[in-house]
Every structure is written in structure tokens, then in C-alpha cells.
Structure 1
Amino acid sequence: MLFYGSLFLDYSKNYMKTKLTYRADLWLEIISDLLFQGMNLFFILVVFLHTQSLAGWSEAQILFIYGYFMIPYGVFTCFFNLWGFADKYIVKGEMDRVLTRPAHNLVQLILENMDPASLVGSLVGAIIMGIAWAQIGLPFHVLDIFVFLLFLLGSVLVYAGVYIILTAISFFVDAQTGILPLVYNIQNYGRYPVKIYNRAIQILLTWILPFAFVGFYPAAYFLDADNWAGFAFITPLIGVLFFTAALLFWNFGVKRYRGAGS
């Protein structure tokens, strides 16, 4: 743990040195991310210009769910920024370099591609969640902080598990399949109540690509614990299961990897 902790600090220092050297790029990255999140928020607000509720959920409740959705997504994007893995590490042969080093290869990839600027999105999500909490008039208990952190960990693990599995497919398939953009679009369904979808999509978002656990189920606990506590509290379990499966599949893929070739 001390070894990986020192690696994290070293990579964090290098990240900050790079970003502070090109500060305009850092601010453009942050602003573009905020604009993207702002468009999603604008879409929700436009929807509620035409209706008072969405399947019985008010505007403030939907914003609360969306605010929660942004928090684990920002943490995930910061530490599991593996979008360009196939092109950079498989096609261009960078994976060969990674495998010659003593640290676990996945940890190296995480550290090399950290994007702390994404945490700004988490901060914005927390602000949205806090404003919606006040508008709804939800009671606050100290225990809620620990429950929230537990749910947050589970949600991040769900994200990581799903996308590590999809990234590891690159060890077996040479061509780009376009599956990552498809799944990215599906994940956005997790920021709305699952009851607004048909039964097939509910099953997809709960048990197959469990993105309901990165937004709706954990957030719904704070809004209506009597009806949603059961699903909310299995969020950490779902996260651990998917993340464990992802690590096993990743390690299997690494063993199958035979180098970049000529």
C-alpha cells in the first residue's frame, strides 16, 4: 500500500506540473465539462416546463437524483479515464511498456490517465444535490453522511466494473466496435427514475448494465427510504461484484495479450 501510495503522489505531482504549465488547457477542459453538464441540466429543466412531474417525481426530486448521478461519475472519470486504451496501449504498443514495470498494470494505467479536473463535475453535482435537498425539505442526520459515502463507493465501483470489462475486450478484438459510446449513452438512463421505463429497460439498468445504481437507487433512498432502501443498500454489493468480475476478466485479457507486433 505504501508503494502504491507513493506512486499516486508522484503521478499527482506530475499531473499538476503539466496542467499548471498549460493552464489555459486546464481551464478549457473544466469549462467544456461544465458546459456539457449544463446542457444535461438544461434538458431536465425544459422537460419540467411542460409537466409538473415525471412518473410522480417532482422537478426538485429529479434534480436531486441528477446531482447524485454527477458525483460518482466525476470520481470515476478522474480515476478510470481509460477511453483511449485500445488505440494508445494496444495499437501503438504502449501496453508492452506497462507490462515491464513492477506495479500492477491496471494501477499504472489508472495513474497515467488520471484526470482530477473531472472532480469539478462532482462538486457541481454536490451543489445541485444540496440545493434540491433544501427545496424538498428533506431531514438531515449525521448518519446520512456515512450512508452517502457507502453509496458513492458502490456507484464508483459499478462504473469502474462495467467500463473495465468493456475496455478489456480490446485484448480480444482488434477492430473498434463502437460499444463504448453505446454504453455511455445507456448510462445516462441512470439519472432518471427506473419506473419511467418499460420492464425490459428496468431489468437492463438494474441487473445487466446496472447504471440505476449509479444514480437513481442510491439517491431514491434519501427521497423515499421506505420504498427504495432495499435496492439502495445493495449498491455496494453490486459494485463489488462487478468490479471483481472486471478485475478477473482484465487479468485474463492481459494473460492473452501477446504484444503489439510489427
Structure 2
Amino acid sequence: MSRFTFMLGLYRDYLANYMKTKLSYRADFWIEVLSDLMFNGLNLVFIFIVFMHTPSLGDWSEPEVVFVYGYFMIAFGLFSTFFSAWNFSERYIVKGEMDRVLTRPAHSLSQVMLENMDPPSLVGALVGLVIMISSWATLDLPFHWYDPLALIVMVLGSLCIYLGIYASLAAISFFSDAPTGLVPLIFNIQNYGRYPVEIYNHAIRFLLTWLLPFAFVGVYPASFFLGRLDQWWLAWLTPVVGIVVLSLALLFWNYGVRRYRGAGS
């Protein structure tokens, strides 16, 4: 059995167990879905409020910014579905569950991802797709045969960036079991990536592009579909940046695992 087939089987089994559990408490499942929709809805309302006071952000119109937000929701919704271990330090390091993870045959990061799947977040990704389609029609954008393929490539690149950044933050816990406080900060910074980077100063633009590349989970890849090709190469850098960020994160994670000495050490 290939490694890929083995991992697909694990995802299937974990998802089946998750659904069996949630079907026993269906109200909890739909409450989670509703809370995610309300959170994303409030962010969308905020965009509308901003445009009630200004006709544009830089040279970006309201439908264009909403389009970017739709893409942002797709990538973030998929990421939250398959990796939502926001409490990694407390659960796996402080409470010692990492010791159990390391006894399993799957890669430790994959195991953590499997144990923290959050399927209700997938609804947010579907809503993001609906927002993109609606904005696409409002802007009367041309549709090319390669656009669905380009969207898949861009979203996969954005997912790698999300996973790489948050896996790196989780890996810091291998060196210190104290809460770092970095996750809420980074979570807030990522929201800047759903707005045109031109509205920020050079320092923030550099941060969002090359240090914490959240511009590649929102505005840069979305600009390709909007026809904003003045920086088209940045849009196509999305999968490249994703591979680089995820590769570095895996190296850091594996190094942290090798340094980990167990909950009792």
C-alpha cells in the first residue's frame, strides 16, 4: 500500500468517525456551522460598511474587494477543515498527548491534523466560492477554460502557506511548553491579506509578501482572476511560495520532534 493511499484511508476513517459522533449531537454540528457563517458574515458586512464611506480602496472597487474576500474564505475554510489545532501547545505538549501521537505509524503532523479535523468549516469555503461566483458575474469577468484549474492550483498554494505558517507556530511548543501568544497575533495579521496591499505602507506590504506571506492567501491569487496583471508574476508565485513555506515548516517541525523528550522531561 502506498503512503498516499494509506493517508487517504486515514482521512476517510477519521472523517467517518467524526460524522458518527456529530450525528449523535446534530445541534452542536449546526451551531458550529452557524457560528462560522455569522463570523464570516460580519467580516463581509464590515467591507460593505467601509465602502459606504469611500468609493474605493486604492483603485479597487467594492465588488473586487468582495471577490478577494470570497477567495480568502475558500482557502481559509479548507485550511480550518483539515488543520485547526489552535490549542496544540496546551493539548499535545502540556497535557502530554504528543507522546501518544509519536507511537502512531502516520507522520506526527498528519496525525495532529487528523485529530483536529473540523468539517463544519467546509461550509465557509463553499460560501466563499458562492461569493466569488456572484462577484464574478457582477464584475462581468471573462471565463476561460483554464480558470477552474488555475483556482485549484492557487488554492492549494494558499493552503500550503496556511499550513506552513501555523505548523511552524505549533512547532515552537517543542522548545517551550509555555503559551507563546503568537497564534492570536498571526491570526489577526492574516486578515490583512484579504485587502489590496497597495493601501498599506511599504513595511506592511513587505511583511505580507515575503515574511508572513498572507497576501498570497488572498489578494495576489485573486488578482489573477480579476485581470489585474500588472503584477501577474506575484499571482503565479502563490504555489511556489506555498511549497517553500511548507517545506521549511516541515523541516522545523521534524527538528522539533527530534528535540521533544516527552511530557515528563
TM-score of the two chains, using structure 1 as the length reference: 0.98
Q: Does 1:252 align with 2:255?
A: yes
The number of residues matched between the two structures is: 262
Q: Residue 156 of structure 1 corresponds to which residue in structure 2?
A: 159
Amino acid at match of 1:188: N
Which residue does the alignment assign to 1:138?
Answer: 141
- The whole-number CA distance in structure 2 between the counterparts of 1:132 and 1:6 is 37
Matched residue type, 1:43: F
Aligned to 1:75: 78
User: Residues of 2 paired with 1:138 and 1:17: CA distance?
Assistant: 42
Superposed CA deviations along residues 96-154 of structure 1, whole A, max 9, x for unmatched, are 11111111111111111111110100011111111111011100011111111110100
Runs (4+) of structure 1 exceeding 4 A deviation are none
Matched, 1:206 2:201: no
Normalised by the size of structure 2, how large is the TM-score? 0.97
Amino-acid identity (%):
60
Q: CA deviation at 1:9?
A: 1.2
Which residue in 2 is equivalent to 1:118?
Answer: 121
Give a deviation string over 1:211-262, Cα, whole Å, max 9, x none.
0000000001111342131100010000000000000000000011011018
- For residues 236 and 152 of structure 2, the distance between their equivalents in structure 1, rounded to whole angstroms, comes to 12
Match of residue 104 from structure 2: 101
CA distance in 2, matches of 1:4, 1:255: 22
Partner SS for 2:53: coil
In angstroms, what is the RMSD of aligned CA positions? 0.9
Distance in 2 (alpha carbons) for counterparts of 1:101 and 1:149: 31
Q: What is the aligned counterpart of 2:176 among 148, 173, 178?
A: 173
- The one-letter amino acid of 2:200's match is Y
The whole-number CA distance in structure 2 between the counterparts of 1:53 and 1:221 is: 19
1:64 partnered with 2:72: no
1:3 Cα shift? 1.8
Measure, in 2, the Cα distance between the counterparts of 1:113 and 1:137: 39
Secondary structure of the residue that 2:85 maps to in structure 1?
A: coil
1:28-55 Cα distance to aligned partner (Å, 9 max, x none): 1000000000110010000111111110
Give the equivalent residue in structure 2 for 1:35: 38
Could you list the runs of 5+ residues in structure 2 that have no partner in the other structure?
Answer: none
Matched to 2:170, the amino acid is: T
